[in-house]
Amino acid sequence: MDFSNKHVVVTGGTGALGGAVVGALLEAGGHCTVSYVHLAEAQRFEYREHAKVMLVALSDLADQAQVAKLYAAVPGTLWASIHLAGGFAAGKVAETDEPALMAQLESNLISCFLCCRAAVNAMLLGEQGGRIVNVAARPALEPRSGAGMSAYTVAKAGVAALTVALAEEVAKEGILVNAVAPSIMDTPANRAAMPKANFDVWPKVEEVAATILFLASPENKVTRGAVVPVYGKA
């Protein structure tokens, strides 16, 4: 896959999956504009000083003005926008109050919607088409598996629905929109949270990144409106 001279926005790019995605993009010749919220995470980011990486500090991707700042920082014509940023919180419906619900909607669905909006407008301005890749989750496709994390499930189901609807809206403009739906990924944080789990069955971040990269690439010429399960053996 060739991303030579292609500019790509990656939200949440300083996280575990983000590092794998950005690394693969750089290896393929891409230029990455990467958002982050926590300074410590940016300081640990392996590619923070790479010549083809621009880090952009944001406080809230659910804020339209903050999102506009991110896309304004792209130093060239936007080719792809990959939306990894999000949040997770478990909780049964009876235990989830309105602020907790809104936090999941804002960090997952609203942030994704606003980034999709900004990306589409930038791509229409560039008149070269483009690619958008969102991140849903397994419970978005299998809601029964979302019992005990209903607010998160609802938010990620919204991301999946947004992906399919937007894909239909912009296909004729040469913009292909897709999403991946991971199960629990093999990250240090997930291993620490679930030390007794069978890590071997979890998809590796590099494997999920490979699927994202294809969907975002010029080599993807026909796939749109897909929410691709990336479950590994889980």
3-state SS string for the chain: CCCCCCEEEEECCCCHHHHHHHHHHHHCCCEEEEEECCHHHHHHCCCCCCCCEEEEECCCCCCHHHHHHHHHCCCCCEEEEEECCCCCCCECHHHCCHHHHHHHHHHHHHHHHHHHHHHHHHHHHHCCCEEEEEECCHHHHCHHHHCCEHHHHHHHHHHHHHHHHHHHHHHHHCEEEEEEEECCCECHHHHHHCCCCCHHHCCEHHHHHHHHHHHHCCCCCCCCCCEEEECCCC
- Catalytic residue among 36, 47, 71, 152, which? 152
Tokens of 230: 């990336």
Integer-rounded Cα Rg, in Å, for the chain is 17
Residue 152 is among the residues annotated as catalytic for this protein:
yes
Active site positions, annotated? 152
